[in-house]
Amino acid sequence: MKNKQRTHKGAAKRFKVTGSGKILHRSPTMRHLMQAKTKGQIRKLKLMKEVKGKNVKKLKKMLGIG
């Protein structure tokens, strides 16, 4: 009997999957040293970014998406 695939709960809390199947992540460098960043930088960092490259396949497996 084959074991069930489990969702990686740490990954599920950190990444979001869009309707079209893209994986989004929060921007790094948003936790501290904010006074050194411009208002424009902060606005851009608040937006979620798409995961690209080799990590997509691994993350989809961790999140239980095909």
Burial class (CB in 10 A: 0-12, 13-18, 19+), 23: buried
Using the predicted structure, report yes or no on whether residue 4 has a pLDDT greater than 90.
no
pTM of the complete model: 0.82
pLDDT tens profile 10-63: 999 999 999 999 999 999 999 999 999 999 999 999 999 999 999 999 999 999
Q: Which residues contact 15 (CB under 8 A, 6 or more apart)?
A: 23, 24, 25, 51, 59, 63
Domain ranges of the chain: 9-63
Q: Which CATH architecture has domain 9-63?
A: Irregular (4.10)
